[in-house]
Amino acid sequence: MLWQLDGKPVGFSSCDKIVFGNRANMHLHVTEPELRQQGIGAECVRRSVDIYFRTFELKQLFCEPNAFNVGPNRTLQKAGFRYLKTYKTVPGYLNYHQAVTRWVIER
Ligand SMILES: CC(C)(COP(=O)(O)OP(=O)(O)OC[C@H]1O[C@@H](n2cnc3c(N)ncnc32)[C@H](O)[C@@H]1OP(=O)(O)O)[C@@H](O)C(=O)NCCC(=O)NCCS
């Protein structure tokens, strides 16, 4: 999903580990560093969450940022995600073994 501000792309979200009618994992990025920490991330996450729930008929949506990456952890909390736990894992085939925090929204 492309995030736009005044018609220009400023970030994106993607979704994987999708089990239709049940659960999925989402990702978040504001690609323009100078536009970060101005509220775009939290607002675009809120809107993306609504679209993911509707499109995939979800019951649970997870997000698992690196535990030491303050930006996404603060943003997820602000967008309404609930903290579940912190643990070590390999989040995806592009990632190394790392500590992640697990956040969820349930509907
Ligand atoms: C994570 C990211 C999407 C957040 O987007 P954003 O537009 O900066 O977020 P917002 O401005 O809506 O901020 C939401 C909250 O997080 C806080 N926050 C965001 N980045 C922060 C940072 N680097 N350090 C401390 N707090 C931060 C904001 O202060 C705000 O909290 P507050 O209103 O309680 O003060 C963006 O910073 C980003 O893309 N970062 C680089 C890529 C990345 O780390 N992606 C996540 C991979 S899992």
Question: Rounded CA gap, 75 and 54, in Å?
Answer: 21
Cα 101 from Cα 73, distance rounded (Å): 8
35 C-alpha to center of ligand 1: Å?
Answer: 10
Q: Where are the domains of the chain?
A: 2-63+70-81
Q: pLDDT class for 92, splitting at 50, 70, 90?
A: confident
- The conformation of residue 57, written as its DSSP 8-state character, comes to T
Alpha-carbon 61 to chain mean position: 9
**Beta carbons within 10 angstroms of residue 87's beta carbon:** 11
Output the CA 25–ligand 1 centroid distance in Å.
18
Q: With beta carbons less than 8 A apart as the criterion, state whether 11 and 3 touch.
A: yes
Which residues form the pocket of ligand 1, taking CB atoms under 6 Å from any ligand atom?
27-30, 36-42, 65, 69-72, 74-75, 78
3-class DSSP state of 63: strand
pTM for the predicted model, two decimal places: 0.96
pLDDT attached to residue 25 = 97
What's residue 39's pLDDT? 98
| Lowest-pLDDT choice from 43-47, 82-86, 95-99 | 95-99
Residue position matching structure tokens 């997000």? 63
Domain 2-63+70-81 has CATH 3.40.47.10: no
